[in-house]
Amino acid sequence: MKSQITAKPQCNDQGIHNYIIYYLLNDTRTLRVTHETGFLGTLGTTKWIYRNKHGLVLNKNREVYSVIHQFDRNEQVTRLIEQQYQILPDNILTLKNYFGQAITK
């Protein structure tokens, strides 16, 4: 893959990956999964976003995506992730948890 990518330096990585999958690895060993029904959602290019009651992003089959790429391209999803995965200040990290053990970084 490296030789294919470096041979076309004017192209971005997504374009090269698409070229490799669709033209160079076009055989029965290649598994292709559509964006609409697959396990990986790319929010930077989609015009629709389905979410469940927990805010998780779903594919068109209403299944939760395993991986979300470019989540920061969607304001609502970005807010949800920032709320759920907060960056804690150092003074909070040194507090003791409910079991009396110090929380470590």
* pLDDT 10s digits, 81-96: 888 887 777 777 666 5
- 60 touches 37 (CB < 8 A): yes
Kind of pairing between the strands at 67-69 and 40-42 = parallel
Kind of pairing between the strands at 57-58 and 50-51 = antiparallel
Q: Determine whether 41 is exposed, middle or buried from the number of CB atoms within 10 Å of its CB (0-12, 13-18, 19+).
A: buried
Give me the chain's average pLDDT, please. 76
**Tens of pLDDT along the chain (105 residues)?**
667 667 766 666 677 677 777 777 766 666 677 777 888 888 887 777 888 998 888 998 999 998 888 888 888 888 888 888 877 777 776 665 555 565 555
The domains of the chain are located at 1-32, 35-105
Q: The pTM is what? A: 0.56
- Residue 8 is predicted with a pLDDT of 64
